Chains A and B, each alone.
Chain A
């Protein structure tokens, strides 16, 4: 099992969620986060004063999948989240040691 963490534009969240569900990948956790990468923030202007906003809002999606689904999930997220401009985000994949379904106590893949 792998944990896929995708940091994407908040505006692409709906598209990514729909694409994942269409690919039969269900169950995900979404959080509002802020950060910057190569985009390095943006400049905003209020009453003529310039402000550099370093931390830009991003949506973070956490989804755990079977090893066999990893490439599908990555491809789906990539396609749905891409605008082609700087700031489209990142996808990280890390191994997951154990999964427990709290209600039943099931472990491993059957808990997904």
Chain B
């Protein structure tokens, strides 16, 4: 996505990185493609190429059709920065929204624990991001295509002395607003995983798991896809991911699948299965998620003037997905359900995430409809298995994210994937068309599945060996609200 690129730029223009280091990492990146390689002949062109690579879809409005425009040192723009600040607030709201979405599905005795698994991360990952997460994702200190660096710990130097410096040349958003925006993504991603392991995981295990997963899986993946690393538009693979289909949704979904398998099903699952204890919570949560997704996808455009476009594809896909899910239920089960409407909307939002800035409205509607259909089928297939992905985290985020990433390859409009910004991706599109880009997306999906799947398993084994993953069956029966937090959501007499 454009964001990651942006971070690179910050590093380049940056106040705390020696230009020579930046140049060498740029050179490394340039060598990745022949296209870029040729640019090396001309230093000014090279500079252009680098900056544009670092840019992303978000810079399109700034370019105004001219590659040089993006290179211009721009003053920080108030409207664009405000978009990022507003977007950050919107994305933050998705985490409590997710807490309600998940909390509604569980039993009344586990609702606080379920909501805390998301809500708590606003503390834990919020601190982690400022201290080291941002640096590992977007710093360039290690000169590695797989991990960032340590130079931006505590957001040192980000945004200059007054915090109002632009992200990099060609960017009119402030570097601080970018760091904030990215932090909100880092918070919600591990929260998404919790849906797979609710009602039996030990909260201490969740604390260590989300901390380690964020450091060892999220930050490197963020760097690989968005930070100028291996998978992204200026890396080896050349895949495109507008707002986190890979980094956020596939990663969280695969981690959820692996977690559900390793942590194991709830005691006496599936006999112990109960209906959602509070369906209005589910609708409230889905509504907040949709609202917040305007920031997640919409603000990822990085420029206020053109962001209406990414806002539109986002909501169009969600609408199509909600409608699709309900219509399928209506035909197959006789009634459209509220839970189905909420789930369908989320599936559509997940599906459009990698594509939001790369497709027009027709494809956006199609992505929404197909994501919903795929997730609905996945949920029903899961019901036939012993796998207890309790709240369908993989079925919605993993499947929806994968379908979205692959459809992004098939449906991306070449005009929206300009060579300046996405050299490798545009080259793939120009040579092999959408089928070839589909291939690149497929490779990115496979790499993510492998990296996240293996990494998550290792982290879970370590956490399991040190603190234990599950509560005892007796504690499970008593309810995790009291066991983990000493609280109850409701008067026990109303059970």
Interface residue ranges, A against B (CB under 8 Å): 44-49, 51, 53
B335 touches A (CB below 8 Å): yes
CB pair B275 A48 closer than 8 Å: no
Chain B residues in 8 Å Cβ range of A53: 275
B491 touches A (CB below 8 Å): no
CB pair A46 B383 closer than 8 Å: no
B38 touches A (CB below 8 Å): no
The closest CB in chain A to the CB of B334 belongs to A45
Chain A residues in 8 Å Cβ range of B337: 45-47
CB pair A47 B379 closer than 8 Å: yes
CB pair B274 A51 closer than 8 Å: yes
CB pair B376 A48 closer than 8 Å: yes
Chain A residues in 8 Å Cβ range of B392: 47
Chain B residues in 8 Å Cβ range of A44: 275
The closest CB in chain A to the CB of B328 belongs to A48
CA distance A48 to B335 in the complex (A): 11
Chain B residues in 8 Å Cβ range of A51: 273-275
Chain B residues in 8 Å Cβ range of A47: 337, 339-340, 343, 379, 392
* B 368-411 contacts with A by CB, 8 A: 376, 379-380, 383, 392
CA distance A53 to B380 in the complex (A): 21
User: Which secondary structure dominates chain A's binding surface?
Assistant: strand
CB pair B333 A46 closer than 8 Å: no
Closest Cβ–Cβ distance, residue A109 to chain B (whole Å): 34
Chain A residues in 8 Å Cβ range of B383: 48-49
CB pair A45 B333 closer than 8 Å: yes
Closest Cβ–Cβ distance, residue B389 to chain A (whole Å): 12
Closest Cβ–Cβ distance, residue B233 to chain A (whole Å): 36
Closest Cβ–Cβ distance, residue B336 to chain A (whole Å): 11
Q: Pick 27 A–B contacts, CB within 8 A, sort by A.
A: A44-B275, A45-B333, A45-B335, A45-B337, A46-B275, A46-B276, A46-B279, A46-B337, A46-B339, A47-B337, A47-B339, A47-B340, A47-B343, A47-B379, A47-B392, A48-B329, A48-B333, A48-B376, A48-B379, A48-B380, A48-B383, A49-B273, A49-B383, A51-B273, A51-B274, A51-B275, A53-B275
Chain A residues in 8 Å Cβ range of B274: 51
CA distance A44 to B273 in the complex (A): 13
- Looking at A46, A49, A53, the one whose CB has the most chain B CB atoms below 10 A away is A46
Chain A residues in 8 Å Cβ range of B275: 44, 46, 51, 53
The closest CB in chain B to the CB of A48 belongs to B380
